[in-house]
Every structure is written in structure tokens, then in C-alpha cells.
Structure 1
Amino acid sequence: MSTTPTDDQAVVSFRQVTKSYGTGSSIIFALSDVSVDIRRGEFTAIMGPSGSGKSTFMNVAAGLDDATRGGVFLASQPLHTMDDTARTTLRRREVGFVFQSFNLVPTLTVAENITLPFQLAGHRIAPQEQGWIDHLVHVLGITERIAHKPAELSGGQQQRVAIARALAPRPAIIFADEPTGNLDTRSSREVLQLLRSAATEYGQTIAMVSHDPIAASYADRVLVLADGRVVADHGRLTPQQISQLLLTAEGVPA
């Protein structure tokens, strides 16, 4: 097993990573000997059939779950040798999350939700950080909603707040788990364009788990998992090309 990541441009590195559940004849391999890098400044879509291991991939990469074997590096730090406290501290500093269900705190205003990562980390917001937050609020078009509670916002607006919250601390990587799953077509397109802009304009690294070929077509790179292994790794593709990749991964003839 490699003890160091080999690509200094990688924000996340997997080195021969296996994640299994159960023992003996009932053992299930969610990830099997995966070696791959998520590179700095790229928007990567992680796709695959149901049960392919894509959610496990995200959980292990973010330090939410342990690998059974292998090396996992986040922002050059070895997650596989850290205890829970060290992993939590690293995750708060280096990772942002955008979820399908938004996960905003209903009792907090938009402004309070956006600055929540700073509060959880016990970090006083510096003037330049506040300037960045103000810029995000403006770019994301939620300035007039800053004092509202989540229940007063549309789904698309709630996801914009979630994206602002994820971007605010300038994390090393944002994990987006089916971020458009609860949105209508127009809101989905807007959210995906925002994620695309975060990568191209701000150099933000994004890893998005998705089953949607249209969503994945916004990414710089498409990783396809099947049976816990990376079976395809491509640059930017059209929705039609991604659909064919997924059919192949599911064993359906092209």
C-alpha cells in the first residue's frame, strides 16, 4: 500500500482502497482495490448503477467512513491513519457538502446558515472572509433573501444557500450528493451551472455523485463505478455519451 499520494495536484487520493461489509461467505465489497485521484480545480462526476459503490466512495473520500484496506488521502493528509477527532477537524477545515435534501437548519436565517461552518469550527470571520461571503451571496442571487428562513425559500433558492454555505470557508473540496435530485428542470440547470462556475472561475474542486447523465455533462470528468471498481474515466462528455457508459457499466449491450 502506498503511504503517500503520488499526485501533488490531487485533493483526494485513493491507493488500493477496499471497503467491505460482513465476513466470510456473506462479505460484500462496496469498493474493491480502487486507486484514483480527484484533482484540484476539477469538477468530477461520480456515476454508476445502483449498488456500484459511488456513495461509499464519497463517504470514504470525505472521512465519513473508514476504508477496510488501502490509503485514503484528503488534502494530502492520511485519513486512514487518523482517529475520529482528527478526521472531524480535517473535514470541518477542508470539506464542504451539498446534499439533495439541502440540509439547512430551519431555525436559522440564510445568513446564519451560510456562516454555520465558521461557527462550528469556532472560527471568527475575518473581514476578507466576510467580503467573500458577501460576494457569494450576490453572485448566487440571494441578497434579498439573506434574513429569510429556509421555509420561506423555493427549493432552488435553498440549494443556492447550501452552495454558498459549502463555498464560504473555501474548502479543499466540495462533495455534492445528488444536488439536483429535488429540483425542477430550471432550478437544476441553474444549480449545475453554479457548480460549473465554482470550478472554472474560483478553482473549486467538486466531486458530485449523480445518476443523471445531464447533470454529469456539466463536469470536467466522469468516473463510472460498477461493482466497487472504477470501470470508466473520461473527460467532459455529452449526456448521450454518458448514458452509453452507464448502459455498458450495467452490462447492457450498446
Structure 2
Amino acid sequence: MTEQLPPVLWMRNVDRWYGDGSSAVPALTDISLDIAPSQFTAIMGPSGSGKSTLLNIAAGLDNPSKGQVWLAGQPFHELSDDRRTQLRRDHIGFIFQAFNLVPTLTAGENILLPFDLAGRTPSIEDRERIDYLTQVLGLKDRITHRPAELSGGQQQRVAIARALAVRPHLVIADEPTGNLDTRTSREVLALLRSAAQEYHQTILMVTHDPVAASYADRILVVADGRIAGDYPAMPATEIARLMVNLEVGAA
């Protein structure tokens, strides 16, 4: 019998509201979910549904107003800011549309930044992984360029390479293909799927794109701050139909 590994991310009865008293605005209500190791999960939902709030709480960038959030066996919701920062650094890779590259560093130096922040030298295996990522992402001839010398798509690829290079337990991706052309988007999505299947990294991705979501093992649909659906992998056409029905039902 295969041993059941504990979830990488575990949430129970999470609420998030902004403001106090009668003026409080709910963003998330009673969210409970488990994200299993090596699972590629897509989070979808209409604008304003709470997807980004859910992602920020999963990443420890925001605090729940109520409930529990556990990452890699640690109670994220109870940790000090310093301990939370360390937990993020050691266990999470981030891919956001804003890139968050350091402008004074080259692409190669940005990719190596998580190793520098952790105070460790990349191993031979790490170097091989970085070479593979830069090759697949078409960055080989851009390694010495600074962010200002790169296109938006190239900057996004650097951010993706940086997030995957240290093989974090959890990769948080917010619309990771939003600034990429179709071909590069598909290559990036295939890379994320490979990271889950071959390298046992756990991917949590917010996307509005049914094609992007079709690369995932699991699709969570968020509506009005709640989990409105939890589905296994399905084709893009079925995902698109699901989202249209959700929008029509909310109208």
C-alpha cells in the first residue's frame, strides 16, 4: 500500500474580512482544503471572487481573520513575521505577474537570488537544474542581461526559473502565463506540470485561462469567497463551459 503523505498546505475554516463591525467586507468564507504533495492545482473564478486573497493567505502574505493555515507542517497563522518569512524562503517559490526581479542584477543573478538569500551555494544538481530551466525557457542568451534589457515575457521567464530553481515544496503562481505568447505559455505550463510530476513540486496556480487550467491535476473554483467546486483534471473545453455556467448562474 502506498504511504499517504501529509498535505503540503492545509487550511481549515478560513475567513478573511476587511474592516470591522457592520462595515466589514468578507473576502473569504469558511475555506477548508488540502493541497497534496506533487499536485498541480488550478484556482479559477470570476473577478472579485477571492482567488487572489486565497493565494495570498496560502503564501503567508496575508493573515486569515479566522481559521488555520498550515504549510509544511508549520502553523503559518501562528508564526511571527520573521519565522513566516523564513518559512516562505525555505518552502515557497513565487511566480507573480509583477515579476519582482531585482533591477541591478542580471537574469542569471536573479535566478540565483534564492540561494543567496538562504546562504547556500548551488550544488552540481542545482546547477544542472538551472541550466535545464534556462534552456527550456529560452534564456541561455539572456543570462547576462538586466531586467530593463529584457521584454516582459523574458522577465516572466526569469521569474519562473527563479521560482523553480531551488525546488521549493510549494510554487505559488498568479496568472504565470499572462504576459507570454501562446507558444511560450504552453512551454511554461508543460514545465510546471513536469515540476509536479517529475520533481514532486506542488503547484498552486491562479488562472482565468481554461487552457492553462487544463494542465492541472485539480481545479478549484472560487465564487463569492467560497469554494464553489472541486474537480479533477478536465479538457479546456469542459473548463470553459463550467466557467460560463458559473458566470450565467451568478447573473
TM superposition score normalised by structure 1: 0.90
Q: Which residue of 2 aligns with 1:61?
A: 58
Deviation (angstroms), 1:77: 0.8
The answer to whether the 8 Å contact 2:137/2:188 transfers is: no
- Partner of residue 178 from structure 2, selected from 176, 181, 188: 181
- Measure, in 1, the Cα distance between the counterparts of 2:182 and 2:64: 36
Residues 98-117 of structure 1: matches in 2 within 5 Å?
98-117=95-114
Residues 14-25 of structure 1: matches in 2 within 5 Å?
14-25=11-22
- Partner of residue 150 from structure 2, selected from 144, 149, 153: 153
- Measure, in 2, the Cα distance between the counterparts of 1:138 and 1:241: 33
Deviation (angstroms), 1:41: 0.6
- Measure, in 2, the Cα distance between the counterparts of 1:248 and 1:24: 34
- Measure, in 1, the Cα distance between the counterparts of 2:186 and 2:136: 16
Q: Which residue of 2 aligns with 1:196?
A: 193
The answer to whether the 8 Å contact 1:61/1:72 transfers is: yes
Residues 223-242 of structure 1: matches in 2 within 5 Å?
223-242=220-239
1:103-133 deviation per Cα after TM superposition (whole angstroms, max 9, x unaligned): 2222211210101111222333334433332
Deviation (angstroms), 1:158: 2.6
Deviation (angstroms), 1:102: 2.4
The answer to whether the 8 Å contact 2:19/2:25 transfers is: yes
- Measure, in 2, the Cα distance between the counterparts of 1:191 and 1:55: 21
The answer to whether the 8 Å contact 2:14/2:32 transfers is: yes
- Measure, in 2, the Cα distance between the counterparts of 1:182 and 1:139: 17
Aligned with 1:252: secondary structure?
helix
- Partner of residue 42 from structure 1, selected from 39, 42, 47: 39
Deviation (angstroms), 1:251: 4.5
Tell me whether 192-201 or 69-78 shows the greater mean CA deviation: 192-201
- Partner of residue 140 from structure 1, selected from 118, 121, 137: 137
Deviation (angstroms), 1:166: 0.4
Please tell me whether residue 209 in structure 1 is matched to residue 210 in structure 2. no
Q: Which residue of 1 aligns with 2:24?
A: 27
The answer to whether the 8 Å contact 1:118/1:125 transfers is: yes
- Partner of residue 244 from structure 2, selected from 230, 236, 247: 247
1:128-174 deviation per Cα after TM superposition (whole angstroms, max 9, x unaligned): 43333233333434223222223333443332221110011111110
Tell me whether 33-42 or 183-192 shows the greater mean CA deviation: 183-192
- In structure 2, runs of 5+ residues without a counterpart are none
- Partner of residue 9 from structure 1, selected from 6, 9, 25: 6
The answer to whether the 8 Å contact 1:44/1:207 transfers is: yes
- In structure 1, runs of 5+ residues without a counterpart are 1-6
Find runs of 4+ consecutive structure 1 residues off by over 4 angstroms: none
1:201-254 deviation per Cα after TM superposition (whole angstroms, max 9, x unaligned): 22221111111112111111110001111111111112221122223333438x
**Letter matched to residue 15 of structure 1:** R
Percent identity of equivalent pairs:
60
Aligned with 2:132: secondary structure?
helix
- Measure, in 1, the Cα distance between the counterparts of 2:178 and 2:124: 35
The root-mean-square deviation of aligned C-alpha atoms, in Å, is 2.0
TM superposition score normalised by structure 2: 0.91
- Measure, in 2, the Cα distance between the counterparts of 1:214 and 1:26: 38
Deviation (angstroms), 1:12: 0.7
- Measure, in 2, the Cα distance between the counterparts of 1:178 and 1:136: 19
Tell me whether 98-107 or 13-22 shows the greater mean CA deviation: 98-107
**Letter matched to residue 121 of structure 1:** A
